[in-house]
Chains A and B, each alone.
Chain A
């Protein structure tokens, strides 16, 4: 597991504390019942703070899964390197 993925898991775990690590890997707005609009705002805020970036508000609504966030962060990291 990459450092980025590990930190992202911690972010998810802070917003969805009841999920296991495996469940976090598969987490999406469809699979996690408590993932509502409030959770989305909190999750985005935690991730932005943790990774010191601003998520493009145009893209934010499309980030609906762990995988989606991970890919977004990888792309953002690559763009900065």
Chain B
């Protein structure tokens, strides 16, 4: 992005109702164009919010961090440079580069790094904190040639690496990956010496733009994609299993097919992080089953569900897999070596991201895996991630329930031994709840998304509450699958946000949540901030079932109307009230 574009984007005026995201940018140099680029990239990333990036005082990183500790922003961005660890590592300060000075620089850098770590620990208790460790080259202050790493230089790098390691273990801290930064901004083209001297801004415009983009992506993370549908022949393995036989397919160096093995272990890694993996293959089922019994496969068949293996069109397989997963096509990547298959799937599902597996081009596969890591990457693996694939398999049992009639349905529900844990309170520090609200589409009251600051601000209202539901039954646990945010006063509850994971459909959990609000919270009436969205059909169906007819905002549900329409509920309910 050019500076002129960034200025235009950053200055764009919004409707007064656009929610603000307040970000504090703390750095020791003049924030100048970095502030502009950060603001612009935040706007591009999330057009529905109005980023307000404030900065501290020039040359006072320690003071800026102190100000940050006591401010009430939605996110903190801390950009370090070597001169922040010791001013003698910059060129705006003439403190001497004698070897004895440099030894002192290292000692002082160590102490500053320790103080920084403590400050970040405090700040990150309150807000998401994004940190970038030094991006500029060290100055020519060392006696070795630039090509040779000397002891003091190595110690400085160790101090920064140690700081990164410590900070990466703190929840809510996100660190810019220097490897990614180097891909987009060449280290040799980052430092603007003249600008550093004249304006105290040390970055070239390109570097400032790249850094602003990476920082914005860590302040406002997009929900990762959810699933991959992969082909088998000449994709998951090299060869055509139907022609070459189970022992004829390969994924090894010896067979010049190593990248297929790399792809397998990559998919296995994604599966362990909760990404759904499905197979769409034109093959004989028994042949594929035999192939998956090979012990040297890097991807377990347990990591895959469902398998669509037959001779029908790939688009039919994809359609069935999407139905099984019950997720939108825009959360899915389809991978196949055959361009014709890709074209056929893309025509049927325009919103699926299709990628070709170039079996004879290792570099292309390498780039594909890096792209997939960008699409599916996440900061940590939650309990729900580890349960997702298993619970979708188990959901098949619940889908079959729809084919039962009358008493058989009720018997089925009762025999499932469903258990719900409801947590009622005011704590906004629930990452899973915020994640659910921001990624759920189908059972979603109005599609509203929240930034961290909006989420926190909501609970400034003394009547605000957060209700979450965690579910399990004899078929397995689903984890935390529903979130409801509202305000309660004088017998009326107003629901601002309500979402439930599609994995939890058909279990009457939504009914149990409303029953709790009526019976345990004493509500006589509940109003809902309803908005139809292109994707919240399942929520609309639910309310039509309760209220009948046309849905309008706000929806109003009286206690008597709910209990007249609600089906029998068999859950064992445990309530944890944190008020």
Which A residues form the contact surface with B (CB < 8 A)? 10-11, 14-15, 17, 38, 41-42, 45-46, 49-50, 54, 57
Contact = CB atoms under 8 A, between A and B. Distances in A.
Contacts of A49: 2-4, 205
B33 interface: yes
Contact of B198 (A10, A38, A42, A57): A57
Nearest to B13: A17
B289 to A, nearest CB: 60
12 contacts: A14-B8, A17-B7, A41-B32, A42-B3, A42-B7, A45-B205, A46-B4, A46-B7, A49-B2, A50-B4, A54-B194, A57-B194
Contacts of A38: 32
Interface in B13-51: 32-33, 36
B177 interface: no
Nearest to B197: A57
Nearest to A41: B199
Contacts of A54: 194
B45 to A, nearest CB: 20
B-side interface mostly: helix
Contacts of A41: 32, 198-199, 201
A28 to B, nearest CB: 20
B178 interface: no
A49 B192 CA distance: 13
A50 B3 CA distance: 9
Q: Which 9 A/B pairs are nearest by Cβ-Cβ distance?
A: A14-B7, A14-B4, A41-B199, A17-B11, A46-B4, A46-B3, A49-B3, A49-B205, A14-B8
B12 to A, nearest CB: 9
Contacts of B4: 10-11, 14, 46, 49-50
Contacts of A17: 7-8, 11
Given A42-B33, A57-B198, 12 more contacts: A11-B4, A14-B7, A17-B7, A17-B8, A17-B11, A41-B32, A41-B198, A45-B195, A46-B7, A49-B2, A50-B4, A54-B194
Contacts of A15: 7
B208 to A, nearest CB: 10
Contacts of B11: 14, 17
Interface of B: 2-4, 7-8, 11, 32-33, 36, 194-195, 198-199, 201, 205
Contacts of B194: 54, 57
Contacts of B8: 14, 17
A50 B4 CA distance: 8
Nearest to A18: B11
A41 B194 CA distance: 12
A50 B195 CA distance: 17
Contacts of B205: 45, 49
Nearest to A7: B4
A57 B197 CA distance: 11
**Listed residue (A38, A41, A45) with the most chain B CB atoms within 10 angstroms of its CB:** A45
A27 to B, nearest CB: 16
Contacts of B201: 41
Contacts of B2: 49-50
Most buried by A among B4, B11, B198, B205: B4
A45 B198 contact: no
A54 B199 CA distance: 15
B511 to A, nearest CB: 53
B199 to A, nearest CB: 5
Contacts of B36: 42
B216 to A, nearest CB: 19
A17 B32 CA distance: 17
A54 to B, nearest CB: 8
A10 B4 CA distance: 8
B135 to A, nearest CB: 18
- Indicate the member of B7, B32, B198, B205 with the most A CB atoms within 10 Å: B7
Contacts of A50: 2, 4
B25 to A, nearest CB: 15
Nearest to B7: A14
A46 B4 CA distance: 6
B219 to A, nearest CB: 23
B38 to A, nearest CB: 15
A9 to B, nearest CB: 11
A11 to B, nearest CB: 6
Contacts of A46: 3-4, 7
Contacts of B198: 41, 57
B204 to A, nearest CB: 10
